[in-house]
Amino acid sequence: MNIALFGAQGELGALLLKKFLQNGDFVYVYTDTPDALKIDSTANYEIQRGSVSDESAMERTIAKGDAVVVCPDFFAYGKRKDRSTPVADGLEHILNVMKKTGKSRIFLTCAACGGQVGQNAMLRFFNKIVKAFMPHCYREADKVREVISSSGLDYTIFGFINPYLKKSDGGYSVCLGKEKVKAGVSAENLAQCIFDSVQKNAYSMEAPIVYNKKQE
Whole-number pLDDT of residue 78: 55
Q: For residue 137, give every residue at least 6 positions away whose Cβ sits within 8 Å of its Cβ, in sequence order, or none.
A: 74, 75, 78, 111, 113, 130
Whole-number pLDDT of residue 77: 54
Whole-number pLDDT of residue 81: 67
d(CA 38, CA 23): 17
pTM strictly above 0.75: yes
Whole-number pLDDT of residue 43: 80
Cα pseudo-dihedral 114, 203, 62, 24, rounded to 10: 130
Whole-number pLDDT of residue 80: 60
**Counts for the chain of helices (H) and strands (E), in that order:** 6, 8
Kindly list the averaged pLDDT for each block of 10 residues, start to end, along the chain of length 216. 95 94 95 86 88 95 97 67 84 98 97 73 85 86 93 96 80 83 89 97 95 80
Whole-number pLDDT of residue 216: 61
Q: Is 188 exposed, middle or buried (0-12, 13-18, 19+ CB in 10 A)?
A: buried
∠ Cα 35 144 118 (to 5°): 135
d(CA 97, CA 2): 17
